[in-house]
Amino acid sequence: MANQEYKIEGKGSYESTSFELNTVDPQEPSRQLHGGHPRRSIDEAPEEFPVKTVFPTPRTTFGWGAHESVGEEAAALGMDHALIVTTGLSGTGIVDSVTDILDDADVASSVYDGVTSNPKDFEVHEAYELQQEDGADGIVALGGGSSIDCAKGVRLVEAHDGRDITEFEGVDKAENPSNLPMIAVSTTAGTGSETTIYSVISDTDEQYKMALADLGMLNSVAIVDPALHRTMPPHLTAWTGMDALTHAVEAYVSRLGVKSNRAMAIEAIRLVAENLPQAYANGNDREARENMAWAQFLAAQSFNSAGLGIVHPMAHVLGGVYDLPHGLCNSIALPAAMEYEVPATPELFADITERGFGVDTSDMTEMEAAYRAVEEVEKLKADLNITQTWDQIGMQEEDLEKCSNYAFEDFCTEGTPRDLDPATIADLFMVNFDEPWVRYDPSEEPSRITL
């Protein structure tokens, strides 16, 4: 394969940044969601994904004070004893509030509060064992994506008599339907896991995060209450908000082409752009918190069918290998990945600039408008004081090949609009490894939003 030099043009002190990019090797990831891959024979249909799949989402209760309906919802689902799966949410009082609400509805509860960031396979099984011991006939997931993903894993394992959660990695691996009702109550505005068919669990033996997709993990009911999101500290507000933005951007430009989900994705981008800096600066800003709750909800509904792209696999692998925060990893990876992807679908990135970030593109070419989306994301990151390089958060260069291969095998790669292979992913890691790649230099022009 021939080499070509792919230059990412920057500004300021990083003006000469570039990296070598090998022409993409036509190999396929082993795990796919929609049964397609960009490498096609001449006999196949001209469209990459000729048949789209639009996945369902659960009934959702949304609004201030919505969490107070958890007891009523649990009773309506026939729960007599609920297992609450959570990190513990120390210092917030949320767990005690929910157990009291369940008790008022005559629903007993047990609490598994051992979930950690990047939920682990053994945590799923610890929670499952508690569910079995206490005879819980329903689950209440209470927290951000980690708690909800762990609870989804419990539901899957329970339906298969305690089989190892690692057996269900990939797409549609469940053999039995889940009869255990589950309510997901989100406390962060980022993952949107309360409304999707996905779960991401760390395989602690192999040291990577498994992506699972199964209708058996779809929650019975979702509850989104912005009042609970006010307990997030600024850094978590920033990281989870950037996770929501990444969901929306990757879903909008996904090569899967699920057009019904694009309206939700572009609205999510707009809501993040207009509200995340305010929610970060003032956690009690009622309007900003509510709009960010809508943003993460819309973004999740969008990627639930439209899929994701390479940013998420890169974040997944770092969460598994180093136990790094998912939203922070997305934040670091997103701008350079967007820059790489622009040539594949410039019209959609230009749309993100104009409709998502509200930039007047009338005097720009389509490509100029498309690349401006990258700058807008970087300006947003500057507003949020987000870390810029991988080595600052603990990635080791000797793990580059392993991380790149793991990321390539993640089924989320299939939505990436531009072809890639493990070597390309390694390049995308290295461009931000110990020196930040930037298209936008905040010293040259003001931030996008003045607080």
Give pLDDT tens digits for 300-332. 999 999 999 999 999 999 999 999 999 999 999
Query: Quick one: average pLDDT of 62-87?
Result: 98
Predicted structure pTM score: 0.89
pLDDT of residue 243: 98
pLDDT of residue 385 exceeding 80, the answer is yes
SS3 for 434?
coil
CA nearest to 208, candidates 333, 308, 316: 316
Q: How many residues does the structure list for the chain? A: 451
What confidence tens digit (pLDDT) does each residue in 415-443 have? 999 999 999 999 999 999 998 887 755 55
pLDDT tens-digit profile of 194-211? 999 999 999 999 888 999
Q: Is the pLDDT at 34 greater than 60, yes or no?
A: no
DSSP H helices in 135-233: 145-158, 226-229
* CATH for the 63-229 domain, from 3.40.225.10, 3.20.20.60, 3.30.505.50, 3.40.50.1970: 3.40.50.1970
- CA angle 150-197-105, nearest 5°? 65
Task: Report the C-alpha gap between 115 and 85 in whole angstroms.
Answer: 7
**Which residues are CB-contacts of 428 (< 8 A; sequence separation ≥ 6)?**
310, 314, 333, 336, 337, 340
Question: Per mean pLDDT, which of 49-63, 127-141, 429-443 is the most reliable?
Answer: 127-141
Dihedral sign, Cα of residue 176, residue 177, residue 181, residue 182: positive
Kindly report, as residue ranges, where domains of CATH 1.20.1090.10 are found in the chain.
Answer: 3-30+234-430
pLDDT tens, position by position, 151-161: 999 999 999 99
How much is the mean pLDDT over the chain? 89
Answer whether residue 33 shows pLDDT above 70.
no
* Class in CATH terms, 3-30+234-430: mainly alpha
- In DSSP terms, which residues pair with 185 in a beta bridge? 142, 223
Residue with tokens 């004893």: 81
Question: For residue range 282-291, what is the model confidence (pLDDT) as tens digits?
Answer: 999 999 999 9
Task: Give start-end residues of each CATH 3.40.50.1970 domain in the chain.
Answer: 63-229
